[in-house]
Amino acid sequence: MVGPMGVGKSTVGQLLAERLGVGYRDTDDDIVAAQGRTIAEIFVAEGEPVFRAIEKAAVRRALAEHGGVLALGGGAILDADTRALLAGQRVVYLSMDVEEAVKRTGFNAARPLLAVNPRKQWRELMEARRHLYEEVATAVVPTDGRTPEEVTQAALDALELKEA
Ligand SMILES: Nc1ncnc2c1ncn2[C@@H]1O[C@H](COP(=O)(O)OP(=O)(O)O)[C@@H](O)[C@H]1O
Ligand SMILES: O=C(O)C1=C[C@@H](OP(=O)(O)O)[C@@H](O)[C@H](O)C1
Ligand SMILES: [Mg+2]
C-alpha cells in the first residue's frame, strides 16, 4: 500500500489482509517497535534524512520477510532503491484530494511534515510525489468519499484478487 499520509494505507491494509486471509505489516510500526520512539520523535531528534535511511532498511526487511499486505509510510517511495524493490510487487496507490486529506488527518502534530501550513505543505508534497506513486503503482484506487470498507473492496477489484 502506498499513497500520501492519512489516505488510509494502514486502515485499508489491515482490512485488505483480513479479506485476503493473509498477514498485515506496516513499516512505520516496525520502525517504532525497533527504535522505541514515535515517528515524530525520530523526525525531531534525527531529521528527515536519518528517518528515510531507517525507513529504507525497514521496507527492505519487510519485503524480504513478509508475504501478506504491507503498508508503507507515505514518503517511502521518495527513495529510488525502495521504488526498485517494489518492482514486481502488486502495489496499490490510494489517492485523495487535499480536502479529503484535511478530514482524514486533522493535520495534527503526529504527522510532522504537515505541522506548519498543512494545506500548502500537502499540495507541495503531492506535487513532488504524485508521479512517484504513479510510477510504482500497479493499481490506483481513489478514496475520496469512500469508507475504508468501500476502499478495500475497490482495491480487491482493482487487484482482481479473490478473497481467501
Ligand atoms: N476511507 C476513509 N474514510 C474516512 N476516514 C478514513 C478512511 N481511511 C482512513 N481513515 C482515517 O484517516 C486516518 C488516517 O488513516 P491511516 O490508515 O492511518 O492512513 P495512512 O496509513 O495512509 O497514513 C485515520 O484516522 C483513519 O481512521
Ligand atoms: O509521508 C511521509 O513522509 C510520512 C508518512 C507517515 O506515514 P503515513 O503515510 O502512514 O502517515 C510517516 O512515515 C512519517 O510521518 C512520514
Ligand atoms: Mg500508516
Q: Name all domains of the chain by residue range, CATH numbers in brackets.
A: 9-159 (3.40.50.300)
pTM above 0.90, yes or no: yes
Q: Is the ipTM of this complex over 0.95?
A: yes
In this structure, the residue with its CA closest to atom 16 of ligand 1 is 8
pLDDT, residue 92, reads 97
Q: How far is CA 86 from CA 25, 54, 90, 121, in A?
A: 15, 17, 8, 26
b/e 96-124 (16+ beta carbons within 10 angstroms → b): beeebbbebbebeeebbbbeeebeeebee
CA of 103 to the centre of ligand 1 (A): 9
In this structure, the residue with its CA closest to atom 4 of ligand 1 is 147
Question: Which of 91, 104, 108, 151 maximizes ligand 1 atoms within 8 Å of its Cβ, making it the mutation to test the pocket?
Answer: 104
How sure is the predictor about 161, in pLDDT bands with cuts at 50, 70 and 90?
low
- pLDDT tens-digit readout, 54-98: 999 999 999 999 899 999 999 999 999 999 999 989 999 999 998
- pLDDT tens-digit readout, 111-138: 655 666 778 888 898 999 999 999 999 9
Question: Which of 69, 79, 111, 133 maximizes ligand 2 atoms within 8 Å of its Cβ, making it the mutation to test the pocket?
Answer: 111
